[in-house]
Structure 1
């Protein structure tokens, strides 16, 4: 079923479908890596990892890129003299040990309603977490079967608002951009960005409409309101 010519919904994750989770701080990452077989993690690794992370984030922001967490670990190991045989496997260990964001039950209920109503649902978010870890989070919350596709910056290598990210969302949705509603809580990345690439957009904002937001972009307070919002589009 389509609602107001919307055939697919792309969902942001943190702040939209889930409450934001903890970031992997250097001390915690170091402790996790030291538990890995054959890994040798010197005392200076945490400080080096922090330096590498700052450099990577600055470079990524300039390019709207997403350097993999495994690459950050590889560079930090090289610069600190650590021995880390498999950074990709280590990345999975880190993000399995560090709890992911908690899914909002009301948001999950709305998602399931839309999925069961026949809408294509795509998870579209910036994250350092590997896809396998994020899929496990969705499964544990009982919504793993609700998504027809996942577009993650950790897999794609670019972050919102890079054009390639939005192109991947359109590809995952399998329908024209004008039939996709992008829902998220960050105006530039989840509303203005998708809108400029031909999608509809609805901003999640509990505090109401932010000053200066494009009047063509609608605002809802919580994802739980999305089914009713989509119903209202029928008459537009």
Structure 2
């Protein structure tokens, strides 16, 4: 039985910026970028058309927001500013080891996370000592679509070498993680089934 896990809110808690626009602006200024006076409005306004369910990497959005105000900054500078703005303290949630062990004894284990910030998932896994815990890691930024779109689930299933209908996905958000059910898989909500109880929840199969 293949099992995939959501990351933020499911396996770890992470302290994200209370005001992302301000956090990004601060890092841009530190790198010599002129931040527009109406930056908050620019940051909150979509500037790039994307298909329904598609993930737009945050550096691309920030660069477009700057251009909309006549500010040109290199892609490298913008990316570094965004990565630095989202550099959270990370803590494992209770029961992670037990949940991963329960999944591992049943088959391959993957990670499937919505995240538009480059490097955030990989850095979080390192800080939570989970870097080697998964057979496949899929992020929305990398695959181009956000859960509940089928693409992230299909991608992690393919990377695990299994049919997506066999996948059990463990997460904390029925609106996003629950999207696995629309394509035949099973959703386990950690709000109802704590990680410490996952072994029993998986007993019945997909």
TM band (smaller chain): 0.7 to 0.9
Q: Specify which of 143, 151, 156 is matched with residue 156 of structure 1.
A: 143
- Report the counterpart of residue 35 of structure 1 in structure 2: 30
**Alpha-carbon contact 2:55-2:141 (below 8 Å) kept:** yes
**Alpha-carbon contact 1:124-1:151 (below 8 Å) kept:** yes
Q: TM-score, normalised by structure 1?
A: 0.75
Which runs of structure 2 are paired with 1:141-220 in the superposition (5 Å)? 141-191=128-178, 193-205=179-191, 219-220=192-193
Which runs of structure 2 are paired with 1:1-236 in the superposition (5 Å)? 6=1, 8-19=2-13, 21-23=15-17, 25-36=20-31, 39-44=32-37, 46-52=39-45, 55=46, 63-86=52-75, 88-100=76-88, 102-114=90-102, 117=105, 119-130=107-118, 132-191=119-178, 193-205=179-191, 219-220=192-193, 222-230=194-202, 232-233=203-204
Quote the Cα distance in structure 2 between the aligned partners of 1:49 and 1:110.
44
Quote the Cα distance in structure 2 between the aligned partners of 1:147 and 1:111.
12
- Runs of 5+ in structure 1 lacking a partner? 1-5, 206-218
- Runs of 5+ in structure 2 lacking a partner? none
Quote the Cα distance in structure 2 between the aligned partners of 1:143 and 1:228.
23
State the superposition RMSD in angstroms. 2.7
Residue 143 of structure 1: how far off its partner (Å): 0.9
**Alpha-carbon contact 1:183-1:202 (below 8 Å) kept:** yes
Residue 90 of structure 1: how far off its partner (Å): 2.7
Quote the Cα distance in structure 1 between the aligned partners of 2:58 and 2:112.
18
Q: Greater helix share, 1 or 2?
A: 1
Give the SS at the match of 2:132: helix
Quote the Cα distance in structure 1 between the aligned partners of 2:153 and 2:47.
22
**Alpha-carbon contact 1:173-1:180 (below 8 Å) kept:** no
- What are the Cα deviations for residues 61-82 of structure 1, in whole angstroms up to 9, with x where unaligned? x711211112111111211222
| Distance 1:121-1:100 versus aligned 2 partners, 3 A rule | farther
Quote the Cα distance in structure 2 between the aligned partners of 1:16 and 1:162.
19
Give the SS at the match of 2:156: helix
Q: TM-score, normalised by structure 2?
A: 0.84
Residue 181 of structure 1: how far off its partner (Å): 0.8
**Larger radius of gyration, structure 1 or 2?**
1
